[in-house]
Amino acid sequence: MVNSTLVVTLYVNPMTGNDTNNTGSRLSPFKSLTRALKVTKILTIIHLESGTYNVTSGEVFPLIVPRGVTVVGDEANIGVGIVISGSGEYQSPSFGIQNITLLLVDNASILGVTVTNPSAKGTGIWIESAAPTLSNNTLSNCGREGVFTTGTAKPTILDNVFVQNTASGLVMAGHSQGEVLRNVFQRNPLGIAISDFAAPTIANNKLSENRTAIALSRNAQPVLRQNLIAKNTQGGLLVNGNAVPDLGNTEDPGDNIFRDHSEFDLYNATTQKLVSVGNQLNPSLVKGLVELLPINQVAGNTSSSNALTESASPELNGHWAEPFIQAFASMDLTHAFADGSYQPDKPMTRAQYAALVAIAFNPFPKIPAPDFTDVPKDFWAYSAIQIAASGGFVGGFSDRTFRPDQSVQRLQVIVSLVNGLGLPAVERDVLEIYSDRHTIPDYARTAVATATQQGIVVNYPEPKVLAPLRSATGAEVAAMVYQALVAIGRTSAIKSVYVGLHSKS
């Protein structure tokens, strides 16, 4: 005998629906979500039409979404135009009486709605020892936080936008676990707050324009992977109490990008040392006991660099830039080129350079990528050029061309790295070390001084000769891009007599 469970589908329209006489069908919708939730069974889908779901439209808060129920709005537009707004008292076993908009029970799902709780200290969605799914929603203008998880909660929180909540976008407390993936946290005092013994996976999220992106306290142990944490007004990751974030390891590097913060990228306020593996951090904005390890230093695997030595031309053996190029191989950056090879003494083209910085820095888009007239979409480096251009690393010419096969100048490389990484400007006095400083164009002098101070400039064969207008070879670009990675804390320095006099040790 085969058992089957009937899926019930209900429709709600706050504008045209009726809770007294209608049946909840597509042609006879309910007026309130409250009414639909009263008649749900296991495996019920509730479709919400555009409108505001509040007390005026008949809602009674808090709204409790039970096991097996999925509430669906407009996922494609992350819930824009479908607003659930209100607050009611909920007795939390963990935190006492709370003002919440929605309580998700067991495996309930909320997809494609906007949730706001206008009450002081109000929470949009409360999750207590449940494993619901939140996807493609907007959590905004809540009196405290957009989502709060506690108990043994294990939610799946995907592709949501947490914006402009009074205290936090997301709070995870108790023994919460679960996954927080591909969400946007913007303009909240705290993007994500993790406390108690919570240990969620936080991956592929974008956190920007918050005061602090992520704050940890007590015994929190989240796993942080491939998050873009940028332009938060105070800082990126704040670690308090006995919290120990997983910021990468030998087999699984963190790949988090921290950039453009005023006070700190990473602030460890605890007494125990944190280890960061393979994350992009500015060492000058790392505070407390933190050990920064690049991927190649901990991997202990030289197979890729050996393969490069074996496959490269004999001129690489003993070459002045061999350590830099071998480091590139161990960081898997040589696949920036169509054939995977790296010809050290051949001038590098602008297309090759764009491909290299796109892979090495994976820049956050700052501007719309120009539509270069001489870079067709089937060109091998088209995507890389778009990434590098939108990230501020490369630009075109006044005739809207990119000239991908033209050799890139040493000066272009230096200015590109300073501008693309947004490095703070320094005084020009440092340029006195260059015997040919008079050949540096005035517009680029501050950028060259900044790159020199940061240890990015590499001069071969004469350390004091900049030769800014000469075409850059593959070896020179490899060394300068590597030094830029050192400057932002992505890898460790390589000693070389050709690195500028102000290089970091």
Tell me the domain boundaries of the chain. 37-298, 299-348+407-487
pLDDT for res 64: 97
Average of per-residue pLDDT across 83-96: 96
pLDDT for res 9: 94
Question: What mean pLDDT is reported for the chain?
Answer: 88
51-65, 220-234, 371-385: which range is least confident on average?
371-385
Task: State both tokens at 20.
Answer: 């007294």
**466-487 pLDDT per residue, tens:** 999 899 998 899 899 999 999 8
Strand pairing category for 88-92 and 96-104: antiparallel
**296-345 pLDDT per residue, tens:** 544 443 333 333 333 334 445 678 888 888 887 777 665 545 444 567 88
> pTM score, two decimals?
0.62
Whose structure tokens read 């790159």? 451
Q: Beta strands of 17-135 (E only): which ranges?
A: 44-48, 51-53, 63-65, 69-72, 82-85, 88-92, 96-104, 109-111, 114-116, 122-128, 133-135
Flag whether pLDDT at 35 surpasses 50: yes
Average of per-residue pLDDT across 44-49: 96
Average of per-residue pLDDT across 194-216: 96
Whose structure tokens read 């030094």? 483
pLDDT for res 164: 97
Tell which phi-psi region holds residue 320, choosing left (phi > 0), alpha (psi between -120 and 50) or beta: alpha
With bands split at pLDDT 50, 70 and 90, how would you rate the model's confidence at 418?
A: very high
319 close to 346: Cβ distance less than 8 angstroms: no
Higher per-residue confidence, 63 vs 250: 63
Range 447-465 burial, b when 16+ CB lie within 10 A, else e: bbbbbbbbbbbbbbeebee
pLDDT for res 305: 35
% of the chain at pLDDT higher than 70: 91
Average of per-residue pLDDT across 414-421: 94
Average of per-residue pLDDT across 90-100: 95
Q: For residue 180, how many other CB atoms are within 10 A of its CB?
A: 28
Range 357-376 burial, b when 16+ CB lie within 10 A, else e: bbbbbebbebeeebebeebe
**426-456 pLDDT per residue, tens:** 999 899 999 888 989 888 999 999 999 999 9
Q: Measuring CA to CA, which residue among 221, 213, 333 is closest to residue 262?
A: 213
CATH code of the domain occupying 37-298: 2.160.20.10
Higher per-residue confidence, 386 vs 125: 125
With bands split at pLDDT 50, 70 and 90, how would you rate the model's confidence at 394?
A: very high
pLDDT for res 341: 55
pLDDT for res 26: 95
With bands split at pLDDT 50, 70 and 90, how would you rate the model's confidence at 23?
A: very high
Average of per-residue pLDDT across 276-289: 90
Higher per-residue confidence, 74 vs 250: 74
369 close to 382: Cβ distance less than 8 angstroms: no
- C-alpha–C-alpha distance, residues 206 and 187, integer Å: 12
pLDDT for res 307: 33
- C-alpha–C-alpha distance, residues 200 and 157, integer Å: 11
How many angstroms separate the most distant Cα atoms in the chain?
A: 89
- C-alpha–C-alpha distance, residues 455 and 446, integer Å: 14
pLDDT for res 504: 40
pLDDT for res 334: 59
Backbone angles phi, psi at 430, to 5 degrees: -65, -20
With bands split at pLDDT 50, 70 and 90, how would you rate the model's confidence at 2?
A: very low
Q: Measuring CA to CA, which residue among 250, 290, 248 is closest to residue 273?
A: 290
Higher per-residue confidence, 163 vs 384: 163
DSSP string, 458-483: B-SS-TT---TTSBPBHHHHHHHHHH
472 close to 348: Cβ distance less than 8 angstroms: yes
